[in-house]
């Protein structure tokens, strides 16, 4: 554990992955475990892990990278935090992110910038940028992130690590500071596929405290992981490879990955997800609508930031929210409130929900014949810090390859598949509902 903190202090000034470090507690915990004797059967015992700062941790500052929660110390643990503890892993600290997980570059954090360990002038991706950068920089072997529209897979792709968004309902959301409740999932970042499968096993399972948590049995995700892809049927959506903004180097790396899969014995064919083009508008309307409702609780009364020098309750609400939320969060609240307002609901939220159904059916149709769907995770590699931050539309459009997965609720992983202009490229493997096992098996074969 001392070595972990030595590595963090060596790299943290440049990378900036953490909002909070919990060195004292982690060292005490590690010492206690040493003294009690580590269970040799438990491979996770003593493993250092970093946790995204929108997952609540009892007694440890949890900010969601917002001024609104600058001083928020939760009095309970999220279910995943409990599971991390039960498994014997030791949390080393809380990781930087875009405010309330809104963003794709970690530039929306109230506290600090996180840099891409491969090139410090580039973004690490987001919103789980701290979680991805910490693993890529060798600060921790494992971290937890959250994915509402790509926030695990995109930063995993940008930093060359493995990131899994599990099936909606696989991992409990209890204690996750909600963004888009019908889309949010927690998942692991690791340096390799097998570790990822092991950590997902540790955090999965039914939880009565999350109404959408599924009772589906959790298999051992590592079982059969070495079985290869011989005879496996993989579909490559033509829409994902035709996408106008697809960088040449990204396309080449993915085409090479397809060749590798063919050589390994998989049957790879072109398929179609015709409603993919509605993914971005549907996602931004649905996620912002849910966010506008979820964020109503931050009113300056119950907990979190409270504005000073106010004369009425109305003024307290307005001033607290004006000062407590950053510009991107306000943009989403406005978009969401507008989409849900009477008179506009039918034109926006209802249409988006219909598009969501069509997107879900697209996946179901392909999965009738195919075991997996393969494509790039992102259209480009990591871009420069400051390059896109003033152009929200460009930011939103770059989520085109990740958001359909959340709208459909299916699981998907991003694994490294080469480089373009010196930056890592991510390969996305999408599976059927609750079939993370096939994803891991195919990802392992490629590694
Ligand atoms: N970039 C997307 C957004 O800004 C995804 C965020 C996420 O998955 N948390 O909403």
pLDDT digits (tens, 9 = 90+) for 328-378: 999 999 999 999 998 999 999 999 999 999 999 999 999 999 999 999 999
Residues 6 or more apart whose CB falls under 8 angstroms from that of 112 comprise 16, 19, 96
pLDDT mean over 52-70: 98
Burial class (CB in 10 A: 0-12, 13-18, 19+), 190: buried
Which is nearest to 69 in space by CA: 85, 81, 57, 78? 57
- Nearest atom of ligand 1 to the alpha carbon of 399: 1
Q: Phi/psi of residue 339, each to 5°? A: -65, -25
Tokens, residue 278: 């509605």
pLDDT tens digits, 89-100:
999 999 999 999
pLDDT mean over 304-310: 96
Burial class (CB in 10 A: 0-12, 13-18, 19+), 436: buried
Nearest CA to ligand 1 atom 5: 149
What is the distance in A from the centroid of ligand 1 to the CA of 428? 16
Mean predicted lDDT score pLDDT of the chain: 97
Tokens, residue 239: 């829409």
Residues 6 or more apart whose CB falls under 8 angstroms from that of 154 comprise 104, 125, 126, 377, 378, 398, 399, 402, 414, 426
Tokens, residue 423: 């930056």
Q: Phi/psi of residue 98, each to 5°? A: -75, 145
Kindly list the distances between the CA atom of residue 126 and the CA atoms of 40, 259, 286, 291, 349, in Å, as whole numbers in the listed order: 36, 29, 19, 17, 25
What is the distance in A from the centroid of ligand 1 to the CA of 156? 13
For ligand 1, mutation pick of 54, 64, 95, 98 (most atoms within 8 Å of CB): 98
pTM: 0.98
What is the distance in A from the centroid of ligand 1 to the CA of 104? 6
What distance, in Å, lies between the first and last C-alpha atoms of the chain?
Answer: 28
Strand extents, DSSP E, 263-351: 267-271
Answer whether residue 162 shows pLDDT above 70. yes
Residues 6 or more apart whose CB falls under 8 angstroms from that of 373 comprise 234, 235, 236, 237, 271, 273, 363, 366, 367, 429, 430, 431
- Prior bond of 35 cis (ω within 30°): no
Q: Phi/psi of residue 371, each to 5°? A: -85, -30
Answer whether residue 245 shows pLDDT above 90. no
What is the distance in A from the centroid of ligand 1 to the CA of 238? 24
Positions marked active-site: 52, 127, 151
* pLDDT level of residue 37 (50, 70, 90 thresholds): confident
Please give the pLDDT value at position 242. 86
Q: Which residues line ligand 1 (CB under 6 A)?
A: 101-104, 127, 147-151, 179, 287, 399
pLDDT mean over 377-403: 96
What is the distance in A from the centroid of ligand 1 to the CA of 103? 5
The three-state secondary structure class of 25 is helix
Nearest CA to ligand 1 atom 4: 103
* pLDDT level of residue 243 (50, 70, 90 thresholds): low
For ligand 1, mutation pick of 53, 123, 125, 126 (most atoms within 8 Å of CB): 126
Please give the pLDDT value at position 303. 85
pLDDT mean over 236-264: 94
State what percent of residues in the chain have pLDDT above 90.
97
Please give the pLDDT value at position 38. 81
Residues 6 or more apart whose CB falls under 8 angstroms from that of 420 comprise 247, 248, 249, 250, 252, 253, 381
* pLDDT level of residue 24 (50, 70, 90 thresholds): very high
State what percent of residues in the chain have pLDDT above 70.
100
Please give the pLDDT value at position 135. 98
């Amino acid at each position: 554990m001392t070595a972990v903190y030595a590595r963090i202090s060596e790299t943290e000034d440049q990378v900036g992955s953490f909002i909070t470090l919990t060195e004292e507690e982690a060292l005490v915990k590690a010492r206690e475990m040493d003294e009690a004797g580590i269970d040799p059967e438990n491979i996770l015992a003593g493993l250092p892990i970093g946790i995204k700062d929108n997952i609540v941790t009892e007694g440890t500052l949890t900010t969601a990278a917002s001024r609104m929660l600058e001083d928020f110390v939760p009095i309970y643990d999220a279910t995943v935090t409990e599971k991390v503890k039960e498994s014997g892993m030791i949390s080393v600290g809380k990781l930087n992110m875009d405010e309330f997980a809104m963003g794709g570059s970690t530039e929306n954090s109230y506290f600090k910038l996180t840099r891409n360990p491969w090139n410090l002038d580039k973004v690490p991706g987001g919103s789980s940028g701290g979680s991805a950068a910490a693993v890529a920089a060798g600060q921790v072997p494992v971290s937890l992130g959250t994915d509402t529209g790509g926030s695990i897979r995109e930063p995993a792709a940008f930093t060359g690590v493995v990131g899994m968004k599990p099936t909606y309902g696989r991992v409990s959301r209890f204690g996750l500071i909600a963004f888009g409740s019908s889309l949010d999932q927690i998942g692991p970042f690791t340096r390799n596929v097998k570790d990822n499968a092991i950590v997902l096993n540790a955090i999965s399972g039914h939880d009565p405290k999350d109404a959408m948590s599924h009772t589906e049995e959790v298999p051992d995700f590592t079982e059969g992981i070495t079985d290869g892809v011989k005879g496996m049927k993989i579909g490559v959506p033509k829409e994902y490879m035709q996408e106008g903004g697809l960088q040449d180097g990204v396309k080449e790396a993915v085409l090479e990955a397809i060749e590798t899969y063919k050589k390994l014995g998989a049957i790879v064919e072109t398929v179609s997800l015709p409603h993919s083009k509605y993914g971005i508008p549907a996602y931004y309307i649905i996620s912002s609508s849910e966010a506008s409702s979820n964020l109503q609780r931050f009113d300056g009364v119950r907990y979190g930031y409270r504005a000073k020098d106010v004369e009425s309750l109305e003024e307290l609400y307005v001033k607290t929210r004006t000062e407590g939320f950053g510009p991107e969060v306000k943009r989403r609240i406005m978009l969401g409130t507008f989409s849900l307002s009477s008179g506009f609901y039918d034109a926006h939220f209802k249409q988006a929900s219909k598009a969501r159904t069509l997107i879900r059916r697209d996946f179901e149709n392909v999965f009738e014949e195919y075991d997996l769907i393969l494509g790039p995770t992102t259209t480009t590699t990591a871009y420069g810090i400051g390059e896109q931050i003033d152009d929200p539309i460009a930011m939103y459009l770059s989520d085109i390859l990740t958001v359909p997965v959340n709208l459909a609720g299916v699981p998907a992983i991003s694994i490294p598949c080469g480089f373009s202009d010196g930056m890592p490229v991510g390969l996305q493997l999408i599976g059927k509902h609750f079939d993370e096992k096939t994803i891991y098996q195919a990802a392992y074969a490629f590694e």
